[in-house]
Amino acid sequence: MMRPDEVGHANSINQRHINTMCFSKLELPPNITATINEDEALENVTWIIHAVPVQFTSGYLAAMKDKIPPNVPMVSVSKGICLKTLRFMNEIIPAALGREQPTAFLCGPSFAEGIIRQDPTAVVVASSNALLARSAQCLLSTANFRVYTTTDVKGLEIGSALKNVLAIAAGMAYGLGYGANSATFLVTRGWAEIRKIAVCMGAEERTLAGLAGVGDLMLTCFGGSSRNANFGKLLATNGGNVKLALEKAGGVVEGFPTAKACKELGEKHNLELPIISAIADTLSGRISPQEMMSYIMTFTLGKED
């Protein structure tokens, strides 16, 4: 389902099998159709794929709650954390609907273009209900799209959401003219801080070492097609001008709002997150990308944790 102001794009999908919003050179299968009508989209529905950006999910689902059948399972592919409440999607969805909707969460190293090209890809689907996770696995798996399951919803969501912050940092390192040494340093030490948050919030550390953790992290930071990494590079090459970098990046840069929320999560749980905090301060305009890098290099030397 698309927004009412996207009716032209919906017509293009239905009539020409072309999505004019993205990947416009690729023809879609004829069984993919689009609509701007809520009732039409939900008619005889057996599964719902939720892809609304996190910051807009609560209002969107609250307005739809009486139309969404309460027993129809939902698979969320939205990644991030709500700025106002510091909630992840597994908390946002039931709060918005006012009930416990059967829900699974899909994450993993998977750029959309690669999926469309049918590159061999592997992801993870998580649900507190193992049977629901298994059902989603069977629904979504294909010869070129491999889906694993887990019941660790927190680990999957935290890793997949917060890694975008580190992709921005990697992009800034490259934008400043540094090489892979610097980007890898920021990502690895920043990931150690994200692991602290995840474990503190009840996640399983092994999830952070899997596809939805390190796998997603590597692709987003070094895969070459990440909006978050590109935004970081643009920020560094444009003198730390956040507004200009966002305009040039285009689309949704998930890591931008997530950085502030990530810093606040650390404060909420009394965790020291020096690299995350420095990234958040850079994105708020308090310091420049070069000042961020120089500041991080002054940290007290110690053991690697």
Q: How far is CA 5 from CA 39, 57, 168, in A?
A: 17, 18, 31
Q: What is the pLDDT of residue 251?
A: 80
Q: What is the pLDDT of residue 25?
A: 83
Closest by alpha carbon to 214, among 156, 263, 258, 128? 156
The two counts, helices (H) then strands (E), for the chain are: 15, 5
pLDDT in tens, the chain (305 residues): 888 888 888 999 999 989 888 888 888 888 899 998 898 999 999 999 999 989 899 999 999 999 999 999 999 999 889 989 999 999 999 999 999 999 999 999 999 889 988 999 999 999 999 999 999 999 999 999 999 999 999 999 999 999 999 999 999 999 999 999 999 999 999 999 999 999 999 999 999 999 999 999 999 999 988 899 999 999 999 999 999 999 999 888 889 989 999 999 999 999 999 999 999 999 999 999 999 999 999 998 888 87
Q: What's the CA gap between 66 and 195, in Å, rounded?
A: 38
Q: What is the pLDDT of residue 267?
A: 96
Q: What is the pLDDT of residue 21?
A: 85
Instruction: Note the CATH architecture for domain 162-296.
Output: Orthogonal Bundle (1.10)
Task: Provide the 8-state DSSP code for 71.
Answer: T
Q: How far is CA 180 from CA 41, 292, 301, in A?
A: 46, 17, 21
Binding residues for substrate, as ranges, are: 79, 227-228
C-alpha dihedral sign at 163, 167, 172, 173: positive
Q: How is the chain split into domains, by residue range?
A: 4-153, 162-296
Binding residues for NAD(+), as ranges, are: 56, 112, 227
How far, rounded to the nearest angstrom, does the alpha carbon of residue 264 sit from its chain's CA centroid? 18
Task: Provide the 8-state DSSP code for 300.
Answer: P
4-153 topology per CATH: Rossmann fold (3.40.50)
SS3 72: coil
For the stretch 56-91, pLDDT in tens is 999 999 999 999 999 999 999 998 899 899 999 999
Q: How far is CA 52 from CA 3, 136, 184, 221, in A?
A: 11, 19, 31, 23
- 50, 23 in Cβ contact below 8 A? no
Strand extents, DSSP E, the chain = 48-50, 74-76, 103-107, 121-126, 145-150
Which is catalytic among the residues 25, 67, 163, 268? 163
Active site residue 163: yes
Q: How far is CA 100 from CA 70, 82, 175, in A?
A: 8, 19, 44
SS3 83: coil
Residues 6+ apart with CB under 8 A from 257: 55, 80, 83
For the stretch 195-249, pLDDT in tens is 999 999 999 999 999 999 999 999 999 998 889 999 999 999 999 999 999 999 9
* Whether pTM exceeds 0.85: yes
Radius of gyration of the chain (CA): 20
Q: What is the pLDDT of residue 72?
A: 97
SS3 196: helix
Domains 4-153 and 162-296 belong to one CATH topology: no
